[in-house]
Structure 1
Amino acid sequence: MNKSSINNLPEQNERVAIVTGANIGLGLETVRFLIQKNIKVILACRNQLKAEVAQKELLNQYPKAHVDIILIDLNSLASVKDFTIAFQEKYNRLDLLINNAGLMIPPLQRTEEGFESQFGVNFLSHFLLTGLLLPLLEKTDNSRVVSLGSLAHRQGKIEFNNLNAEKEYHNFRAYCQSKLACVMFAFELNRRLRKKQSTTSSVVAHPGASLTNLGRYAPAIINNVVMKIGTPFLNSAEMGAIPTIYAALGEDIEGGDYTGPDSLLELRGHSAKKVKATKYAHDKSLAQSLWKEAERLVNFNYPL
C-alpha cells in the first residue's frame, strides 16, 4: 500500500476511529490519512492546547472533516478510564482503535501508578484502554485494533523480574521490552478474538526509522547527526504512518498481520507491506504470562 492506493480506497463514511498521541508526528499524519476517507477521528491527546492546534490545522486543510478531541493522559490509568467513559457518552460505535502514542528512551520516569514510563505508557495504558473499549469494538462489525510495534521489538525480552525497572534501568532495553510487549499483546489479543469468533481483529504496524518527536530524549549529538546526514535514510512522519493506515484500512489485512515499510531492512519506504515479527514475539506461553501480569498490574480482567 502507498499513498496512491490509499487514495483509491473506498470512502469510510460513518466509521469512527480513536488515535492516541494524535497531535504530532505519526499520530497526526495517521489522522490526516483517515479523515481523507471521511472517517470520524477522535484525537486522544494529553494536552488540550496542542490538540486544538492539531485540530485547527486539520480542519483548515479539510474543512468538512469530523475531528474531535477527548483528553487522555497515558501516564494515568484513571485518565484512561475517564477517557473511555467520555468517549462512550458521545459515540455508539468504534471501528478503529489505533494505539499510537509512545515514549522512547527517556530517563527513568514513573507513571502515576509507579510503572516505568515506557512500559506504562507504551503498553499497560493501551492494554487497559483496549480492554475497556473492547465491548464497543465487538459491537461494531469488522472493527480493528492497531498496535504500534517497532523494529526495536527484535532486541526485546520480557524481563518479568524487572518489568518496571525494579532492579535496574536501561532506557533502550526498557524501550525494546515495551514495544515487544505491544507486539505480543496484539498477537495474543487476536488469538483470543479468533477463538471467540469475533469480527474484531487485532493487528500490528511499525513505522520503520522515522523522523518524529520520539527521538527527543536522544543525546543532542545524535539528533544533530541524524538531522544532518540521516534524513535520506529515514522515513518522514507521513511515510511512517503508511504502515499504520495499511494495517487499519487494508482490504487484504487479516487479524494477526504485521505491517511495516516496504524496503529490504524495513527502515523506510513510500509504501507498506506485510512483515514478520520475531519467533519470540509469537511465543504463546510468554504472551499468556504477560497478559496475566498486565491484568494484575492494571487491576482489570479482560472480557475474553
Structure 2
Amino acid sequence: MARWSIDDIPDQSGRVALITGANSGLGLHSATALARKGATVVMACRSLDRAEAARRQVLDAAPEATVELLQADMSDLASVAAMADAFSQGHARLDILMHNAGVAAPPLTRTAAGHELQFATNTLAPFALTGHLLPRLQATAGSRVVNVASLAHTFGDLDIDDLDWQRRRYKEWPAYGATKLALLLFTYELQRRLVAAGLPTASVAAHPGYAITNLPASGGMKLTRTWLGRKALALGDLLLAQPGEQGALCQLYAATATDVQGGDYIGPDGFKELKGFPRKVTSRPATHNRALARQLWERLGTLSGVHYLEG
C-alpha cells in the first residue's frame, strides 16, 4: 500500500483554511503545505510579529499563495471571539478549521478569566471557536473541523466537575492528558450533533505521534527548565521522534484526504503510533463515552458562553 505524503494532498484552489497556532511547528508545516496546494491560508497566531515572519516563510515556499494573518490569544475567549468575527467579516466560506494551537505541561497558570491555561487553550478555545465559525462552516460543502489530539489522551482522566483544577492538586502531565481526552470527546460529540442537524461539516481528529516541535519549550514544560531535562528531551527526540513536517502529515490527511469521514481519527502507522505515515487509528474507549461527552459539551458551553447545536 502506498504511503500518503504531501504530494497526495488534492488541489486546494478556491478553498479557505484557518489554522490556529500557525506560526511554528505543526501549524506552520500545515500552512505551508496547504498554501502550496492553492488554498487561501489564514494563520491565527498570538504574536503578529512572529506570525509575519512565518507568513514570509510560507510565501517563500508558495509565492503565488494568499496567506493572511489574524491575531488571537487562544487562552483568551474574548480574543478568540474577536478573531472569529474578523475572519467572518473577510470570508464567506471556511473549508478547513484546524485547531492546532496548544500548550503542554506548564506550571499551574491561570488565565485572566481564571481558567487553567492548558484547559483554556487546548479544549475550551476549540469548542468556542467552532461555535463562532459554525455559520461559515455550514455554508461550505465538504468543510471539516480538524482537532489536533495527542497520544497523551491515553493517560488523561476527566473530572467533569473540576475541569479547571480548582479543587484537585494540579499535576502538569495529567492535566495535559485530560485536555486531549476532552478534545477527542468533543470531536466525536460534535460529529454526532452535526449529523443530527443535517449539516455538511465533518468533525475529525489527528495526532502527530512523537513529533519534534517547540511545544515543550513554549509551554514551559518542567523538563525544559533544567540542563538534564533538556538533554533527556533531546535523547528522546533522537531515538523516538519524527520531524515536525512528518508529524503534520496526519492533520493534513485529516483535513484533505478524500477517504476521510466524520468521526475519523488519524495517526502514524508506525510502532505504538510514535512515527510513520497517516492512517486511521482508534482512540481509547473513554473517548467514546457518550454520556460523558454530552456532559462535557454542556459544561464547555456554560464556561465559554458559546452555545450551539443544542438539543
Q: Is the TM-score greater than 0.5? A: yes
8 Å contact from structure 1 (residues 215, 223) kept in 2? no
State the number of aligned residues: 303
8 Å contact from structure 1 (residues 137, 200) kept in 2? yes
Runs (4+) of structure 1 exceeding 3 A deviation are 1-6
8 Å contact from structure 2 (residues 212, 237) kept in 1? no
User: 2:299 corresponds to which residue?
Assistant: 293
8 Å contact from structure 1 (residues 147, 203) kept in 2? yes
User: 2:157 corresponds to which residue?
Assistant: 157
User: 2:246 corresponds to which residue?
Assistant: 239
User: 1:14 corresponds to which residue?
Assistant: 14
What is the CA-CA distance between 1:56 and the residue it aligns to? 0.8
Structure 2 matches for 1:68-147, cutoff 5 A? 68-147=68-147
**CA displacement, residues 207-252 of structure 1 (integer Å, 9 cap, x when unaligned):** 1111111111242323212324532410211011000011000111
Task: Report the identity percentage.
Answer: 40
Question: Structure 2: how far apart are the matches of 1:276 and 1:225?
Answer: 29
**CA displacement, residues 251-270 of structure 1 (integer Å, 9 cap, x when unaligned):** 1100000000111200011x
**CA displacement, residues 94-126 of structure 1 (integer Å, 9 cap, x when unaligned):** 000000000000000112211000000001011
Structure 1 residue identity aligned to 2:190: L
Question: Structure 1: how far apart are the matches of 2:300 and 2:24?
Answer: 28
Picking from 227, 230, 242, the partner of 2:234 is 227
What is the CA-CA distance between 1:161 and the residue it aligns to? 3.0
8 Å contact from structure 1 (residues 3, 242) kept in 2? no
User: 1:179 corresponds to which residue?
Assistant: 180
User: 1:267 corresponds to which residue?
Assistant: 274
8 Å contact from structure 2 (residues 138, 199) kept in 1? yes
Structure 1 residue identity aligned to 2:60: N
User: 2:255 corresponds to which residue?
Assistant: 248
Deviating more after overlay: 52-61 vs 248-257:
52-61
**CA displacement, residues 134-175 of structure 1 (integer Å, 9 cap, x when unaligned):** 111001001000001111111111112321111221011110
What is the CA-CA distance between 1:9 and the residue it aligns to? 3.5
Aligned CA distance change for structure 1 residues 263 and 92 (closer, same or farther; 3 Å): same
Q: Secondary structure at the match of 2:204?
A: strand
Question: Structure 2: how far apart are the matches of 1:288 and 1:276?
Answer: 20
User: Please, which runs of 5 or more residues in structure 1 have no aligned partner?
Assistant: none
8 Å contact from structure 2 (residues 197, 309) kept in 1? no
Q: Secondary structure at the match of 1:147?
A: strand
